[in-house]
Every structure is written in structure tokens, then in C-alpha cells.
Amino acid sequence: MATLTAADRRRLARVEYDAFLAACPSRQLLDRISDKWVTLSLTALADGPQRYSEISRRVAGVSQKMLTQTLRGLERDGLVTRTVTPMVPVRVDYELTPLGDSLLETLKPLKRWAELHMVEVDRARDTFERAAPSANG
Amino acid sequence: MATLTAADRRRLARVEYDAFLAACPSRQLLDRISDKWVTLSLTALADGPQRYSEISRRVAGVSQKMLTQTLRGLERDGLVTRTVTPMVPVRVDYELTPLGDSLLETLKPLKRWAELHMVEVDRARDTFERAAPSANG
DNA sequence: CGGCATCCTGAGAGATACTG
DNA sequence: CAGTATCTCTCAGGATGCCG
């Protein structure tokens, strides 16, 4: 039984795919910004440095775990800086790096596209749902 | 015990957050393109109409389930069209709509950013890892 | 060929409690 | 205040099998 099954072939393809991913900057970036909280945290820092608690207030609904995790990721990737001030109650400030800022800028056209075209998407979705009310029509 | 716990407050915030999301085009778009296979499928269609099997070959490593699911989502959102030709073995072609194409265009600057700056990100990550080898040396 | 229904698993999201 | 550690549990995603 040395013949490859469909599953085997897919598995193989997946390995190649992963290897491909590792070398593809676009995919890496996408993996990064596709994280739900990443863009929100980035946006929260758009106006300048913020304390941890301030960010957690701006990014409504995030848990400490997720926020910390996200900010650490951003710090590690050189998109934000983390500054600890050893006061009695510790104070930690986060700030966009130039790199992080440039990313935020690059994200703006996308935002603009969304604002311009998401209504069309919504309309299309409506039409589609009406035409094929399979799920919950 | 009418006082709100931290969890309660977070829960409340989360509800507001979700309501906010529902009205925020940028977040909607992000939710859409953050899907792993969406951009890959979109890219696969960049060169013109493709058959289902052709796409599944281009988007290496995807299962039928995910591909079908993704394509349906894109169709429903008006980003691709789906054309069924009732031959003996059925033939289905997918093609970008103008809307889908314009989205793909908007994605390109992001791609460019990635190609320009992901090395910096990688370098930052390296430095960070070396400075704080907490996880895996 | 293209696609749906079904079952199953595991990565990740959140809640909770503790620390400096 | 700003985390870390631990547990649970959901649900996206993959495998498999059948249908038109």
C-alpha cells in the first residue's frame, strides 16, 4: 500500500504549504494582524503612549491574559515599546514604535476600503440570504 | 451583592464591544480577511476564473470543507461569483467580482509593507528572544 | 467533479486565583 | 497596578464517507 491516499497528498501539501508560509512575508503579516486584538491594541495606541490599564479600557472586552499576550507579541515584534516605571504601584507604558506606526498607516487604506464598500458586502449578503434561505431564512 | 465584579464589568464591556463591532466596517472587513483561507483563495483567483479543483490545487493544503466554506462566504459577500455548468461531471467556476478585485488591489500595499518590513520584525523578534530567553532559549 | 453531513480533536480564548 | 499560573471548555478545522 505505498500508494498515496487523498489524505496523504493533502498532508504533504500542507507541509509544503507551511514551509511556504514560513518564507512568505505577506502571510506572516497576515497571521499577525489577523489576530483579533492586535489591530485593536495598535489602534488604541494611535494617539500616543498609554498605560496598561488605559489600553485595557480602550480595547473594551479584552481579558488581561489576551491583552498582555497581545502586547507582548507586539513588543517582541518591535511594533511597540514597553516602559516600566518602578513606582510603588508599578507603572507600565506602551508606545508605538516608528515601525508600528508605519504599519498602522498602511492599515488605513484598508479601513477606507471597508468604509466605502462594506455596505455593498452587506447588501450582497442580504441578497444571497434571500435567494438561498437554507440556514435560517 | 449588587456590586459588579471585574468579570461582570468585562462581560458588559464585551457586549458593548460586540455591538460596536457590528457597526464598525473596519472590524467587519478584518474579520473577513483575517480568515486564513480568504486571502489565499482571493489570490488564487487573481489571474482569472478558476475551477474548484484548480483553486484547491493553488491553495495548497486546504481541505474541501474549508475551501467550500470559504468560497461560499466570498460568494455570499459578493466578492466572487460561482458558475455551475451542468455537464456530466459537474463543472463549477469561480471568478472575482469587481468588488473582490478592488479588495485584492487594496490588499497589495499591505503586501508591500510586509515585504519591506517583515525582516525588521524578524530581527526585532530575534533580539527580543536573545534578551529574554524565557520560553525556549 | 463538486459538495454536503458527520464525527472528532486540539489550539486557543476566557475565568479564576495568586504575586510583587 | 500589572501582571503570571492554571484550569476549563468552546468551536474552528480536519478526516471520512455518501450523494447528484
Distance from the Cα of A103 to chain B's closest Cα (Å) equals 7
Task: State the burial class of residue A59 (Cβ atoms within 10 Å of its Cβ: 0-12, 13-18, 19+).
Answer: buried
Confidence bin at B135 (pLDDT 50/70/90): very low
- Name the nt closest to B61 by C-alpha to C1': D14
Q: How long is the CA A7 to C1' C7 vector, in angstroms?
A: 17
Interatomic CA distance for residues B17 and A136, integer angstroms: 25
Q: For residue B47, name the pLDDT band (cuts at 50, 70, 90).
A: very high
Closest among A57, A43, A48 to A83, alpha carbons compared: A48
Looking at strand C, which nucleotides approach a protein CB closer than 7 A? Answer: 1-6, 13-17, 20
Of B29, B122, B74, B30, give the one whose Cα is nearest residue A34: B30
Nucleotide nearest to A14 (CA to C1'): D14
Assign domain B17-131 one CATH number from 1.10.10.10, 3.20.20.70, 3.40.50.740, 1.10.275.10.
1.10.10.10
Q: C-alpha grid cell for residue A41?
A: 491594541
- Residues on chain B touching A115 (C-beta within 8 angstroms): 25-26
Q: Which residue has the cell 472587513?
A: B29
Please, which residues have CB within 8 angstroms of residue B60's CB and are 6 or more apart in sequence?
A13, A14, A16, A17, A20
pLDDT in tens, B10-31: 666 766 666 666 678 888 888 8
Cβ–Cβ of B10/A128 closer than 8 Å? no
Strand B50-51 versus strand B91-96 pairing type:
antiparallel
- The per-residue pLDDT string of chain A (137 residues; one tens digit each, 9 = 90 and over) reads 445 566 666 667 767 666 666 678 888 888 888 888 898 899 999 999 999 999 998 888 889 999 999 999 999 999 999 999 998 889 999 999 999 999 999 998 998 999 999 999 999 988 988 876 554 43
| Pick among B53, B121, B129 to test the A interface (most A CBs inside 10 A) | B121
The model carries a pTM of 0.86
Give residue limits of the domains in chain A.
17-131
Residues 2-21 of A with CB under 7 A from strand D: 5, 7, 10-11, 14
